[in-house]
Structure 1
């Protein structure tokens, strides 16, 4: 994404920029202080594989989508509907996910931000293995630049920390890419507060992408830490499944009160939770895409938010 804002490497790398106070219900957030995005993005992980392949937690995310034209149309519909943050990874379909976004978003490239991830190898459809050797991370970032058809990645996440490589070396590799102008902002995924703090000693971290939703709130401490640091908190799998979808449950009850669907209500809870929370729901359905974006118009009262927050996590 290109903007008219000054985003010199000096200010980015200093880690001293302070984000302005934003109202909880603001529709936008500035990642790293200078990259404005709407607060509901699009997670593209599920745009892979084809009919008959496993879904849900068993999904392999191994091959390009069977209907590429439909996937391109969906991504362009998302951009035209106002999505400005798109998320992918080099591990999704072995790079085919990045190639898909590059093709689909080419007409909108100056209007959207694309986040990708490096640091996981896929030896087989069922394996996701962290690999944080600095040389490997730099190689994968170079491949991501080619597949995304860009000279600078808007937001590059370390997909997972590799316990066999010092954090300083892993994050340091991304910082060098940032210093070279190949990466605008650095992110981390599935990290603890301690890991995030260690990484911040090496480079400014603009975003953290962790599993978080009404049913999975193990990362409350990370959410609070990022709020205090002006770091975007990007929940993946933001819509809770299982018992939280009970048509007679509290989510459905609040949904009826506000005239929304349960999915919209779950997303609205995240948006209400804090102004730096940026959910990235994924879908292969245009109907669900527009339903998800409708959550931006859902307003919860403090009482409704508290009632949802009181629902036990899984």
Structure 2
């Protein structure tokens, strides 16, 4: 590189896809695990900087990750020149000391308050994308009592925030097919549902998203984040495909998602730099027709399990995706 020249941008891992009108790398970063580095803040900032150096330009977060700690790290680590799309979410609030560390926050006024909290902790005037986590389906909490709120009321609040310039685009999370269809007139940029090679209940939603140019962003992409859920890394077919040198079963589970549909965006999370590099390397894994057929044949089990117990618990090195 000649003196004063600008470094070449990193290759976009996994190729590119569209998200809220932007072209982004298909492998992003889920920031939840940064909370594990609360006592090592410099490491958290450095990890996020490393993700950007490796080509990540799509980061998923929430104000309730670490009660604002994760957003604060993102605010410190990311620079305008990085041109990173930051996607956050509303629909739940922290519940410190509770049986479950989160509580539903589905009412319109709570959605607005959460947007304001995210704006403040991220230090921005406008959030690129905000996902409304409906809690209708998938593993996790279910709303009760006054937390059972109609979709139209929620979308009215979200679109008002978009009209005010506080939200750039609206996404959905934890929704079924009928909810997505009803929400389409509001303009939906992405859908985040639990989805993996071992849990493909939402194939119809994935197909509708493809038809409507909506990004499909699976969480729990390897399964097993809650007790009783299937795990991709328990499948013999996944291990057989991972027999190639230098390829792990976790990488195969993520690579299958990239191969399965071109509008899939990954947001694997980790608190470990070596694991971050492994996740980015997934974009270079080629699965041939035989491997894809074997993975497609894996039995799909339901993720649609209301869970009021423990949150996802990553292993000691932060290997949670």
Residue 62 (structure 2) aligns with: 89
- Compute the displacement of 1:184 (Å): 1.2
Q: Secondary structure at the match of 2:110?
A: helix
Assess if the C-alpha contact under 8 Å between 1:214 and 1:239 holds in 2. Answer: yes
Match among 190, 193, 216 for residue 177 of structure 2:
193
- 1:226 corresponds to: 209
The Cα of 1:278 is off from its aligned counterpart by 0.6
- Does the C-alpha gap of structure 1 residues 189 and 251 become closer, same or farther in structure 2, counting only changes over 3 Å? same
1:215 correspondence with 2:206: no
Name segments (4+ residues, structure 1) moved above 3 Å. 240-244
Partner of 2:48 in structure 1?
A: 75
| 2:14–2:282 CA contact under 8 A, matched in 1 | no
Partner deviation per Cα, 1:141-182 (whole Å, 9 max, x = no partner): 122112111121111111235662211111111111111222
CA contact (8 A) 1:268 1:295 kept: yes
Q: How does 1:34-45 map to 2 (within 5 A)?
A: 34-45=21-32
Q: 2:288 aligns with which of 301, 307, 310?
A: 301
Shift of residue 280 of structure 1? 0.7
Structure 1 regions of 5+ residues with no counterpart?
A: 1-24, 51-64
Do the aligned partners of 1:234 and 1:278 also contact (CA within 8 Å) in 2? Answer: yes
Judge conservation of contact 1:258–1:300 (CA < 8 Å) in 2.
no
| TM-score (normalizing by structure 2) | 0.79
Query: Would you say 1:204 and 2:179 are equivalent positions?
Result: no
For the residues of structure 2 that align with 1:98 and 1:157, how far apart are their CA atoms?
A: 15
TM-superposition CA deviations, 1:201-235 (whole Å, max 9, x none) = 3x100000111112222222211221111110101
State the TM-score, normalized to the length of structure 1: 0.81
Structure 2: gaps of 5 or more residues: 1-12, 136-142, 225-229, 302-321
Task: Please give the alpha-carbon distance, in whole angstroms, between the structure 2 residues aligned to 1:235 and 1:243.
Answer: 14
* Residues 74-102 of structure 1: CA deviation (Å, up to 9, x unaligned): 11100111111100112212222211211
Superposed CA RMSD = 2.1
Q: 2:7 is matched with which residue?
A: none
Which structure has more relative contact order (CA 8 Å, sep 6+)? It is 2
Q: How does 1:10-21 map to 2 (within 5 A)?
A: none
- SS of the residue corresponding to residue 207 of structure 1 reads strand
State the SS of the aligned residue for 1:235.
Answer: coil
Q: Which residue of 2 aligns with 1:167?
A: 151
